[in-house]
Each structure stands twice: as structure tokens, then as C-alpha cells.
Copies of this chain bind each other. A is one copy, B any other.
Amino acid sequence: MQIAVIGAGDASPEEVEAAETVGYLLAQNGAAVVCGGLGGVMEAACRGAKEGGGRTVGIIPGTAGENPYVDIVVRSGLGHARNALVVGSADAVVAVGGAYGTLSEIALALTMKKAVFGVKTWEIDGVFPCLTPEEAVLTAVRAARLSH
């Protein structure tokens, strides 16, 4: 099971904490964390996943600069186009906060008919709003299982 965690590289302390919890709980549920591989929410999700004993994949836009908690790095060199690969590789998506890059990933995920669960993120029709990281992980894991 692969679940994408998306969110800004420049994240607030609350977003970082939420993302770390999301990563930790995904790992505990046996899901690999797929993300954009950089800082902020991406780094926090990876750090959480490693604390939880899980695996992390970072699909970076360039060819270097992944965060230290990335196990497998995909050096895409694709720039912003890599956003499509992050969500395309996921069985479900958890969005934490986020700016326009995250919005593009939410929209791409919905285009691909992936389930998207949001924690204090863009209010877009089709995104399931979750009150807590726990709720987001629970529902995302369930959606990912159903997608197979």
C-alpha cells in the first residue's frame, strides 16, 4: 500500500506536527509514504514514517536535495510536472495544509479519481475534510485497501 502525503515545503509548526503524525500512523498501518521528497510537510511525513518503522519514497523535482528521511529517491528532474507522479503513485492521498503546489496535487489526484483526505488544506469539492491526522490516516488506509 502506498499513500501520498502532500503539503508545502514551507510549513507551519502545526502542519509539521500533523504531517509527522500522519507519517507515523501510515507506517504503523503498513503503508509506504510517497511524497515530493523535499522539506516541510514532506520531510515531517518521512520523519514520522521512519519513527513508525515504515518506508518512504521521495519523488523530487530536481536531481538532488531530498530530505534525510527518504529511503528511495526518485530523481525525476521533471520540475513541477513531478506532482503528477507523486499522486499517480498513490493508492490514496493525505493533504496537510499547503500552497498552490499542493492544490495542483489535489486536483491531479481528483482527476485520476484517487481519494483525497485533507487536514486543514484547500476546501475543494471532492476532498474529504478530516479533523485530525488520525482520522485522515484511518480513512485513507481504508480507501487505499478498497482501491485494490
A residues touching B (Cβ–Cβ < 8 Å)? 2, 32, 55, 57, 59, 63, 71-85, 88-89, 99-101, 103-104, 106-108, 110-112, 124, 126
Contact = CB atoms under 8 A, between A and B. Distances in A.
Q: How many copies does the complex hold?
A: 4
A84 B76 CA distance: 8
A84 B79 contact: yes
A108 B83 contact: yes
A75 B101 contact: no
B84 A57 contact: no
13 contacts: A2-B73, A57-B72, A73-B89, A74-B85, A75-B85, A75-B89, A77-B88, A79-B79, A79-B88, A80-B108, A81-B84, A103-B110, A104-B104
